[in-house]
Structure 1
Amino acid sequence: MDGNGRWALERGLPRLAGHKAGAEAVSRCLRAAMHRGVKYLTLYAFSSENWSREPAEVADLTSLLRYYLRHKVAELHREGVRIRFIGDLARFDVSLREELARAETLTRNNGRLTLLLALSYGGRGDIVQAARRLAQSVQQGDLKPEEINETLFADKLWTAGVPDPDVVVRTSGEFRLSNFLLWQSAYAELVFLDIFWPDFNEGHFATVLEAYARRERRFGTRPSAS
């Protein structure tokens, strides 16, 4: 979800205004996903690289996260949304981690849609922590190196238990993944939108699904004869 800061800059507004507008776009995206029957939606809300931003902006982002945890989770729960957080959550303070845990606990039995929020997340970091956990199992004698396969590795990622994404969407006109779900997106269809994230709406969601429906997914196999 890229372009909050540039959206605000174009309008002569502080970056926080862009982040608030981006949060409203999240609400529109969620409504569209539920309306279309999407079962899993992952939003890249705060990357591991975002920690290097100005402390004031990081504080604004975490404050905004707290606000939505306190004011929106109950609504999502009523809508049947399950919330999961993926990433290096240990970098957040204890009180925020407790709020994240409460949101997961409250919504864990919901089945209409699973919303994964990637916080303090990086695809390389995800792969490294999975490798580290497997190495520890080998070191402890619980696992043999030759027993490690792709399925076992995927089970150690922060997204364990969640299907790999069918489609990855990048806004703001950038053409890169920016360290998002690198392992999981191996065969995802990529869609790039030349809009800033705060402008994302239900029409854009429909455009993404239409683009996906036109793709032929072969997963390395031969093209179909048709």
Structure 2
Amino acid sequence: MPASKNPAIEDYLKTVYAHTEWQPDPITPSVLAGKLGVAPSSVTEMVKKMAAAGLIAHVPYGPLRLTDAGRERALAVVRRHRLIETWLVQEMGYGWDEVHDEAEVLEHAVSDRLLDVIDERLGRPSRDPHGDAIPAADGTIPAEPFLRLDEAPQGHRGCILRISDRDPAVLRELEAAGLAPGVEVVVSLGDGERVRLSAGTADAPAPALELPGTAAAEIWLTA
């Protein structure tokens, strides 16, 4: 099995890519170990293997960066993961808070042929249920200006672009409050600890909602 097809290496590549998708700071080996729930020594050995395979650029004690080959492979895994999440929600009746762990397993088993069938059946979606962009088959991925809700200035108006799927409980709370990708919101208060916003359009505003800063930090808006 080629190194880039190894499920463990695919998990590493996807995690390194995801770390910088919504913020600019590169990932360090210690942070990568924490995200994957493995020992730092395991990361050290895997990084050596990935560097030898030309997937990671790394200097001792420095951050990890994907090479062009590593980024290409990471985007292929991300594409599978997000298409599977979308398929589970749209075709299989899963809630958006239930699909992450299922996709983690299936992303290593689905063939490219089956993935293309799923993609076609879904109508070639551009974003998954959480608002994350789905890379195209050629590895391109759309990007647009964004800012995190807890950092948005008072009076900012924008659509919810993405909600992190890290915590299923937060997803359920936000869904109950009517917050989902594509919903237009206006920030009426933000002090780092609490964020108050109004959902809905200017013509049909909804009652103001108040979120703790921890929940607001899981939401990204169009800039």
- TM-score after normalising by structure 1: 0.28
Bigger relative contact order (CA 8 A; separation at least 6):
1
Greater fraction of residues in strand: 2
Q: TM (normalized to structure 2)?
A: 0.28
